[in-house]
């Protein structure tokens, strides 16, 4: 039986060899036709390298999955599509097919290493490469499962695999991480040609151990709401190892490069607008107590508004049918108080001398066009507005006639957009950074789990680590002590857990008549978390900071946290008209929050239903509901 199994394994490896692209420099050196290579002419590290580099996503896959799916589902930018319940089969297929290849590479690395060891043909480092392949495979399985749900754990080896439920996927990944980390030998050294095949850590096995333990804690925390005993046990055991990512040089990241290949930047397509989301804007404004005039040059100071000013009210042009607390108003300037990371991540409209200002798309002048019109039903201009040095974000959804008459909303020259530093393929794409482990420790501490450091210290260390990344450490002391509320009623200071009042008085100006007035703006009720009665407890603070810190590199994590906890507050899509793919959301309930109003997963691609009907039926049968975008995953908040 074992001999038959080995024959099958070896055959599948030989098939994979023919698919291995020229991403491996060592492979290119083989002085024969690569398609004719045999098992003895490839190495385990080639498969690992090809899998890691492939997972950086070429521009076709990155635009569809990272930008249009993950950043949209995770509310890291303003975008309809997935956030309003739709699913594009072409986009899904592009990701699913590519991710299957990455997993195929990871599985082949495991198989080849095991065969080499069994046959006595291993190198001194082969055992360690086997463990690295298992760690990376666990990540890829979790990534695919967090998108779709049920996944195979017995293959991606060239034949139609059997699908299993999400719980089994997670249990398998957690066990793999536990075993792989325990078997990594940090004393093993590698030749230079092997180190070059690891684009993340150069086969520094101590760092791979830290990543394996850190990833295990991330996946364990994912189960916190549905399987708390398992979550706690796995988390505490990984934390007890004492090896996890806490320093900048331990970050799991891969260098991007200009071009059109797997190493091209994931956010570089010029036509992707990547405007600030209302979710981020409501978290940023007021948070941390740092004034805009302390962050910006004097050129901007005349545009900074009072803290209790919400903006111009345009009742006929801006939606009010959403629970976005800023809905209906347009800020004709800059906020008095804002989280310092806001101006680093998104650039103020009209700030053309800022080296981070993005001129994308360069084939139009839209990025530099800051004046736009509000028109009436006949198309006649009601008001021309110059958005230079202003700061606004909008709820997505269906704006109806108000949207068709509004030239400001959704226009790139009038809205803060993602900084150019993330759009030019000069960065390192982050998969796991030090701040995340600290926020995980903080959440675990709040839950009463055993952690290496207290929850408050972990929370503050996470903020400090992220401020350091942005070059903002000079602000962090005042920021950590701030008790000012943001637009959703959350403050920074760990010791400040007083709930905000139901409403706060804000001044505004009628945009049509220039008449000044006051209005009571409610802090939004987040029914997904503690029945909407809590806005400023420790867990809300932690996830608020984690959400901000993960932007823009880890949108799948921000989406997963919101699905798991209902945190942070996500505003509902506007429903001036009905949204076909969100049938439960309507004009009578838009002020409440519900899992039925937000995407929960991606549908499997149609080619899976056609090519592997048995597997598709297995997968969809494991879902707790129809094979649809709005069906929550096993670990998600129900």
Whole-angstrom distance, CA of residue 215 vs CA of residue 245: 9
For position 157, what pLDDT does the model report? 56
Whole-angstrom distance, CA of residue 205 vs CA of residue 190: 10
Task: Work out the percent of the chain whose per-residue pLDDT is above 70.
Answer: 93
Report the 10 Å Cβ neighbour count for 336.
Answer: 17
Partner residues linked to 510 by β-bridges: 313
Bigger pLDDT: 122 vs 9:
122
pLDDT bucket at 637, cuts 50 / 70 / 90: confident
Mean pLDDT confidence for 145-151: 98
Q: Is the pLDDT of residue 22 over 50?
A: no
57 with 64: CB under 8 angstroms?
no
CA dihedral 86, 90, 94, 100 (to 10 degrees): 80
DSSP 68: I
Domain borders along the chain are 2-57+88-244+607-622, 278-424+501-522
pLDDT bucket at 29, cuts 50 / 70 / 90: very low
341 upstream amide cis, omega within 30 of 0: no
Write down the H helix ranges in 69-191: 72-73, 89-118, 126-148, 166-183
pLDDT bucket at 155, cuts 50 / 70 / 90: confident
pLDDT bucket at 160, cuts 50 / 70 / 90: confident
pTM over 0.75: yes
Give the tokens for residue 198: 């690891």
Give the tokens for residue 467: 């401020």
What is the per-residue pLDDT across 254-281, written as a single tens digit (0 to 9) for each?
A: 999 999 999 999 999 999 999 999 999 9
Whole-angstrom distance, CA of residue 173 vs CA of residue 571: 33
pLDDT bucket at 25, cuts 50 / 70 / 90: very low
For position 261, what pLDDT does the model report? 96
DSSP 544: H
For position 589, what pLDDT does the model report? 98
Strand residue runs (E) in 325-465? 329-330, 346-347, 371-375, 381-386, 397-398, 417-418, 428-432
Strand residue runs (E) in 227-326? 252-255, 309-313
What is the per-residue pLDDT across 489-504, written as a single tens digit (0 to 9) for each?
A: 999 999 999 999 999 9
Q: Is the pLDDT of residue 353 over 80?
A: yes
Judge: domain 2-57+88-244+607-622, CATH 1.25.40.390: yes
For position 19, what pLDDT does the model report? 41
Whole-angstrom distance, CA of residue 157 vs CA of residue 136: 16
Mean pLDDT confidence for 317-342: 98
Give the tokens for residue 563: 């699905």
For position 154, what pLDDT does the model report? 86
Task: Kindly give the pairing relationship between strand 381-386 and strand 371-375.
Answer: antiparallel
Whole-angstrom distance, CA of residue 51 vs CA of residue 20: 9
Report the 10 Å Cβ neighbour count for 31.
Answer: 5
Q: Is the pLDDT of residue 20 over 90?
A: no
Whole-angstrom distance, CA of residue 486 vs CA of residue 479: 13
pLDDT bucket at 3, cuts 50 / 70 / 90: very low
Whole-angstrom distance, CA of residue 598 vs CA of residue 558: 13
Whole-angstrom distance, CA of residue 340 vs CA of residue 344: 7
What is the per-residue pLDDT across 461-514, written as a single tens digit (0 to 9) for each?
A: 999 999 999 999 999 999 999 999 999 999 999 999 999 999 999 999 999 999
Whole-angstrom distance, CA of residue 331 vs CA of residue 521: 15
Q: Is the pLDDT of residue 35 over 60?
A: no
Classify 317 as helix, strand or coil: coil
For position 40, what pLDDT does the model report? 62
What is the per-residue pLDDT across 205-258, written as a single tens digit (0 to 9) for each?
A: 999 999 999 999 999 999 999 999 999 999 999 999 999 999 999 999 999 999
CA distances from 561 to 441, 464, 543, 556, 585 (A): 15, 21, 8, 9, 22
Distance spanning both ends of the chain, measured CA to CA: 44
- Mean residue pLDDT across the chain: 94
Task: Work out the percent of the chain whose per-residue pLDDT is above 90.
Answer: 92
């Amino acid at each position: 039986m074992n001999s038959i199994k080995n024959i099958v394994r070896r055959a599948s490896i030989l098939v994979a060899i023919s698919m291995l692209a020229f991403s491996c420099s060592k492979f290119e050196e083989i002085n024969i036709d690569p398609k004719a290579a045999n098992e003895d002419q490839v190495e385990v590290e080639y498969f690992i390298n090809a899998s890691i580099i492939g997972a950086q996503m070429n521009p076709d896959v990155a635009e569809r999955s990272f930008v249009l799916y993950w950043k949209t589902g995770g509310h890291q930018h303003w975008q309809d599509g997935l956030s309003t319940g739709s699913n594009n089969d072409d986009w899904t297929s592009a990701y699913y097919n590519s991710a299957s290849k990455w997993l195929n590479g990871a599985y082949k690395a495991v198989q080849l290493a095991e065969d080499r060891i069994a046959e006595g043909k291993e190198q001194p480092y082969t055992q360690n490469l086997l463990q690295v392949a298992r760690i990376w495979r666990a990540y890829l399985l979790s990534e695919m499962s967090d998108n779709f749900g049920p996944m195979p754990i017995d293959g991606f080896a060239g034949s139609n695999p059997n699908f299993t439920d999400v719980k089994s996927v997670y249990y398998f990944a957690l066990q793999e991480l536990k075993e792989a980390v325990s078997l990594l030998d940090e004393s093993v050294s590698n030749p230079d040609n092997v180190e070059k095949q690891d684009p993340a850590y150069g086969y520094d096995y101590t760092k791979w151990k830290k990543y394996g333990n850190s990833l295990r804690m991330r996946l364990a925390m994912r189960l916190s709401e549905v399987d708390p005993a398992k979550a706690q046990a796995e988390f505490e055991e990984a934390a007890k190892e004492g090896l996890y990512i806490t320093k900048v040089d331990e970050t799991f990241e891969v260098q991007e490069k200009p071009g059109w290949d797997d190493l091209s930047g994931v956010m570089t397509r010029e036509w992707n607008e990547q405007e600030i989301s209302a979710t981020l804007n409501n978290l940023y404004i007021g948070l941390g107590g740092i004034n805009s005039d302390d962050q910006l040059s004097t050129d901007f100071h005349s545009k900074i508004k009072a803290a209790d000013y919400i903006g111009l009210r345009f009742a006929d042009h801006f939606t009010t049918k959403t629970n976005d607390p800023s809905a209906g108003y347009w800020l004709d300037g800059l906020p008095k108080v804002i989280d310092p990371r806001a101006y680093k991540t998104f650039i103020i409209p009209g700030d053309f001398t800022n080296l981070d200002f993005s001129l994308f798309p360069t084939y139009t002048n839209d990025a530099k066009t800051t004046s736009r019109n509000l028109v009436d039903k006949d198309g006649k201009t009601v008001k021309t507005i110059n958005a230079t040095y202003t700061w606004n974000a909008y709820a997505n959804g269906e704006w109806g006639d108000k949207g068709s008459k509004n030239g400001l909303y959704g226009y790139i020259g009038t809205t803060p957009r993602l900084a150019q530093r993330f759009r030019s393929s000069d960065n390192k794409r982050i998969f796991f950074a030090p701040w995340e482990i600290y926020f995980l420790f903080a959440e675990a501490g709040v839950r009463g789990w055993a952690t290496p450091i207290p929850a408050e210290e972990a929370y503050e260390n996470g903020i400090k680590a992220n401020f350091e990344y942005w070059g903002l450490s000079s602000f962090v002391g005042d920021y950590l002590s701030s008790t000012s509320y943001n637009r959703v009623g959350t403050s920074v200071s760990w010791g400040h857990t007083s709930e905000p009042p139901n409403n706060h008085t804000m001044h505004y100006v009628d945009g049509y008549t220039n008449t000044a007035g006051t209005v009571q703006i409610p802090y939004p009720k987040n029914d997904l978390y503690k029945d909407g009665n809590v806005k400023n407890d420790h867990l809300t603070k932690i996830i608020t900071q984690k959400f901000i810190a993960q932007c823009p590199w880890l949108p799948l994590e921000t989406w997963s946290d919101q699905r798991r906890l209902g945190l942070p507050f996500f505003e509902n899509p506007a429903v001036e008209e009905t949204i076909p793919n969100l049938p439960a959301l309507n004009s009578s309930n838009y002020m409440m929050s519900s899992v039925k109003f937000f995407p929960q997963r991606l549908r499997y691609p149609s080619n899976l239903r056609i090519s592997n009907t048995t597997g598709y039926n297995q997968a969809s049968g494991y879902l707790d509901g129809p094979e649809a975008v709005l069906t929550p995953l096993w670990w998600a908040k129900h």
